[in-house]
Amino acid sequence: MLGLGKLNLIPGERKKEEFNEETRVELQKKLDEVVAILKSEISSYYLYKDISARVKTVESANRKLITRKIDSWRELSDYCGAAIIIHPLKTTEEVMEILRNLHKTNEKCKNFKIVQEEIKGPKDSSQFAYRAIHCDALYGDCKIEIQVRTCYQDIWNCISHQAYELQRLKGYDQAHSLPRELHQISSLLEISEEICSSTIRQHGKEVPDVGDTIDDTDELKLLIAKKLKYNGPINDWEFNVAYEALKSKNKIKTEEVEREWKEFASKLKGNDHNNLIFKFSEYIILGQSFDPNSPSNTKLIVDVLNRFEKVLNIRSLLG
């Protein structure tokens, strides 16, 4: 159970369940559990930046209790919060689908559920303002506000929040009265986002289905990042080599790739693996005798790279 805040029993006042440091530490443990699960389920393929999270400070939480005349911190919906910032060529709906089904896809998340979703945006469609999807989630008895927004929406969030804070420092409290120049930035960001969305609709690929033949590197990325839940960096040169390695062994059916990936992943120890997709290529070429946890063997690496020299992205290698 979560630690309880101190109860103030002052004559003439209602009972107050205050937010204290002990409570905050317990909530942080819960939030860390959820973030670890989110990182394991939401591939970096979707993300513009790492998932961030925070528990409200003791000062901030108790200020809300007083200003909102709330008896208990448990009545707040945002004492825990997480932000998921989406890559420009992905959509918030893709990530929302993952969140909605988290209790089905992860054993540790049977007690996780989305209880409410709200699309944030201007009431008047002719205006520009903060936009995002805010979710109220429950993880056991812990409430978490999860904000899902694109990188463009996040840029606007940072700009407008900073402008708002600067106004308050000058003695103003006009959150909805930002300078026209800032709204022009918002319009440009929204146009950029729409161009990306249009690009996805016209050129986006579906995840290869069971029995499909993988025809190119992009389809391999989709399969490993979405279905097989790879959460590392998406480096073109690694995937180019992996695709060519699979093709050379005639293993480009989805079920064959999935089987090879699961066998490879079962050999991994720990989570800190650099160039993991390239190690997968080595595994495909060298067979089950290859140990991805062993120190890198320069000769083996060069031998594998030389096989697929034509598909290497030299700039990525140099970087």
Average pLDDT over residues 91-112: 88
- For 135-170, the pLDDT digits (tens) are 999 999 999 999 999 999 998 888 877 777 777 666
Task: Give the CA radius of gyration of the chain.
Answer: 24
> pTM of the entire structure?
0.73
**69: number of Cβ within 10 Å:** 7
Write the secondary structure of 76-117 as one string of H (helix), E (strand) and C (coil): CCCCEEEEEEECCCCCHHHHHHHHHCHHHHCHHHCCEEEEEE
What pLDDT shows up at residue 12?
46
Average pLDDT over residues 120-138: 82
Average pLDDT over residues 237-255: 95
**Residue 6 reports pLDDT greater than 60:** no
Nearest to 282 by CA among 272, 294, 270, 271: 294
With the C-alpha atoms ordered 19, 20, 26, 29, is the resulting torsion angle positive or negative? positive
Average pLDDT over residues 195-219: 85
Q: Sorting pLDDT into bands at 50, 70 and 90, what band is 274?
A: confident
CATH 1.10.10.10 fits 21-179, yes or no: no
What pLDDT shows up at residue 316?
47
- For 74-100, the pLDDT digits (tens) are 999 999 999 999 988 888 998 999 999
Average pLDDT over residues 243-270: 93
Give me the residue spans of the domains in the chain.
Answer: 21-179, 217-316
What pLDDT shows up at residue 142?
95
- For 15-40, the pLDDT digits (tens) are 668 899 999 999 999 999 999 999 98
**Residue 217 reports pLDDT greater than 60:** yes
Q: Sorting pLDDT into bands at 50, 70 and 90, what band is 58?
A: very high
Instruction: Name residue 249's amino acid.
Output: K
Torsion of CA 234, 238, 243, 246, to 10 degrees: -120
What pLDDT shows up at residue 186?
82
List beta partners, residue 185. none
C-alpha 150/C-alpha 96 separation (Å) is 12
Task: Give burial (CB, 10 Å; 0-12/13-18/19+) of 226.
Answer: middle
Tokens of 267: 């050999």
- DSSP assignment of 116-167: EEEEE--SSTTS----EEEEEEEETTEEEEEEEEEHHHHHHHHHHHHHHHHH
Q: Which residue has the higher pLDDT, 189 or 180?
A: 189
Average pLDDT over residues 118-134: 81
As a whole-number percent, the residues of the chain with pLDDT over 70 amount to 87
**69 CB-near residues (< 8 Å, 6+ apart):** none
**Residue 5 reports pLDDT greater than 60:** no
Count of alpha carbons within 13 angstroms of residue 269, beta-carbon side: 5
Residue 112 Cα to chain centre, angstroms: 16
